[in-house]
Amino acid sequence: MPRLAIHGGKPVRTKPFTRPSSIGQAEKRRVMEVLDSGVLSDFMGTWSDKFYGGRSVRCLEDAWCGYFGFKHAVSLNSATSALIAACGAAGISPGDEVIVSPYTMAASATAPIWYGGIPVFADIDACTFCITAESIEARVTPRTRAVIAVDLFGHPADYEAIQDVADRHNLVLIEDAAQALGASYNGRYCGGLAHIGIHSLNYHKHIHCGEGGMLATNDETIAERARLIRNHAEAVVGDKQAVDLTNMVGFNLRLGEIEAAIAYEQLKKLAAVVYARRENADYLSRCLDVPGITTPLEAVGCKSSWYLYACKYDAGVIGIPRDRFVAAVRAEGVPIVVGYVKPIYLEPMFQQRIAIGHDGYPFSLSDVTYQRGDCPTAERMHFDELVYTTAVHEGAIADDLDDFVDAVEKVMDNLEEIKESKNVISK
């Protein structure tokens, strides 16, 4: 039986895993067209024909609407900016409570704070890792104004149930689909399942332009408010004769012409990217038949776009702690990680209730507290059960996937060696 690499044996894999590389000649041609034009941004922070940006920005927004079937798409310089603009457009005000997921990138939870909103964390589903309608319902109070649901790891949340809660309580529903480009729920694309949807074009995502984000909505008023927040609203509302000035303090959240040109070409590749990721995830799920490891599933009516491939680890079945198992697999030369992000409410901002200024604003407006145990499922996933790999991306080849499976199986075949080892295995 081959000796484990973590104990000095030969690893399954000695070369780096294949990396996705989706930038090609089409993107280069588009970039050169922009450079040759000499116009790298065509926005003006005044009420003029340049308020909505230049040719590449408008082409991208039109293409986004056409591809996904949205009425309005607003490009921004990041998905974080899109989340902030969404909260502002939704009318979040100081003291308003916004129900958010604890298990996601922090911006999904902190965006309301820019408008004085109070994040309230609802727990996640143990299979999809997305925020649940039941947990949202339990946290609704008279001060609740909105919900930000996250399609984690490319899998959509249960929007039929969540929308029912939002409708009954008159809440604005925002969908953070940053990780779910091309995923769908009951035949509808993620990012279009709520009042406002968010996509990311950050370089980690399915398609990208380095940094960028998109806000989508079928509500013309919300779309226009988001455009104002994107581009110096306070300097524009007078000439535009805007009536509702709530949150009309603007930023410069504009996407440049180069980034928009790249994203326009990247969008054409999305279907192929998602297809490849789904094929790779399906292959891993067929091959990873390991007692104690639960491979990810897709809920009925859902099609994940597989941003990550996240499994659940049962130390009681396998017989060794999760960290020791993952360290041994990683030593075999394959990418595998424990947990995802620490539940956000355990971060210092929430534990100390300090955000903007020295006096605890906006937490000083609320008696909402944050403590260990608030979201037990999220905590269990992070601290005890969840493991994931990025190996399902569209650039992965058969050897990558086979080596991943072989590494897991090799460790499973050598569990007694790990149990008997006195070596300290770090995370």
Instruction: Give the model's pLDDT for residue 421.
Output: 78
pLDDT tens per residue across span 154-204: 999 999 999 999 999 999 999 999 999 999 999 999 999 999 999 999 999
- Within 13 Å and on the Cβ side, how many CA atoms surround 107? 18
Instruction: Give the model's pLDDT for residue 262.
Output: 98
* Other residues' Cβ atoms within 10 Å of the Cβ of residue 190: 31
Which two structure tokens, joined as six digits, stand for 136?
């949202």
Q: What average pLDDT does the segment 127-140 reach? A: 98
Alpha carbon distance 310, 294 (integer Å) = 9
Judge whether 189 and 14 are in contact, CB under 8 Å.
Answer: no
Q: Is 367 exposed, middle or buried (0-12, 13-18, 19+ CB in 10 A)?
A: exposed
Helices in 252-380 by DSSP H: which ranges?
257-267, 270-287, 315-318, 322-331, 348-352, 376-380
What structural domains does the chain harbor? 25-269 (3.40.640.10)
Which two structure tokens, joined as six digits, stand for 423?
């070596």
| Contacts (Cβ under 8 Å, ≥6 apart) of 275 | none
Q: What ranges make up the beta strands (E) of 15-84?
A: 72-76
Alpha carbon distance 149, 99 (integer Å) = 8
Instruction: Give the model's pLDDT for residue 409.
Output: 96
pLDDT tens per residue across span 271-295: 999 999 999 999 999 999 999 999 9
Alpha carbon distance 7, 249 (integer Å) = 59
Residue closest to 133 by CA, chosen among 176, 181, 101: 101
Q: Can you state the angle between helices 398-413 and 322-331, rounded to 10 degrees?
A: 130
Alpha carbon distance 285, 264 (integer Å) = 33
Residue closest to 59 by CA, chosen among 82, 80, 75: 75
pLDDT tens per residue across span 340-355: 999 999 999 999 999 9
Q: Which residues pair with 100 in a beta bridge?
A: 121, 148
Instruction: Give the model's pLDDT for residue 22.
Output: 83
Instruction: Tell me the percentage of the chain whose pLDDT exceeds 70.
Output: 98
Q: Which residues pair with 75 in a beta bridge?
A: 214
DSSP H or E run through 295 = none
Q: What average pLDDT does the segment 25-36 reach? A: 97
Residue closest to 350 by CA, chosen among 118, 77, 57, 19: 118
pLDDT tens per residue across span 71-104: 999 999 999 999 999 999 999 999 999 999 999 9
Alpha carbon distance 71, 62 (integer Å) = 9
Residue closest to 83 by CA, chosen among 114, 54, 60, 55: 114
Judge whether 152 and 130 are in contact, CB under 8 Å.
Answer: yes
* C-alpha distance across the termini of the chain, in Å: 25
Q: What average pLDDT does the segment 216-241 reach? A: 96
Instruction: Give the model's pLDDT for residue 422.
Output: 59
Q: Which residues pair with 313 in a beta bridge?
A: 293
Instruction: Give the model's pLDDT for residue 423.
Output: 52
Per-residue pLDDT band for 425 (boundaries 50, 70, 90) equals: very low
For the cut 90, the answer to whether the pLDDT of residue 2 exceeds it is: no
Instruction: Give the model's pLDDT for residue 362.
Output: 98
* Other residues' Cβ atoms within 10 Å of the Cβ of residue 49: 7
pLDDT tens per residue across span 283-334: 999 999 999 999 999 999 999 999 999 999 999 999 999 999 999 999 999 9
Alpha carbon distance 398, 415 (integer Å) = 26
For the cut 50, the answer to whether the pLDDT of residue 235 exceeds it is: yes
CA distances from 116 to 62, 95, 261, 356, 357 (A): 33, 6, 35, 9, 12
For the cut 70, the answer to whether the pLDDT of residue 117 exceeds it is: yes
Instruction: Tell me the percentage of the chain whose pLDDT exceeds 90.
Output: 95
Does a cis peptide bond (omega within 30 degrees of 0) precede residue 362?
A: yes
DSSP H or E run through 419 = helix 415-420
Which two structure tokens, joined as six digits, stand for 238?
């007078």
Q: What average pLDDT does the segment 105-126 reach? A: 97
Instruction: Give the strand order in the sheet containing 309-313.
Output: 293-294, 309-313, 386-389, 337-338
Alpha carbon distance 192, 283 (integer Å) = 29
For the cut 90, the answer to whether the pLDDT of residue 21 exceeds it is: no
For the cut 70, the answer to whether the pLDDT of residue 129 exceeds it is: yes
DSSP H or E run through 294 = strand 293-294
Mean residue pLDDT across the chain: 95
Q: Which residues pair with 303 in a beta bridge?
A: 184
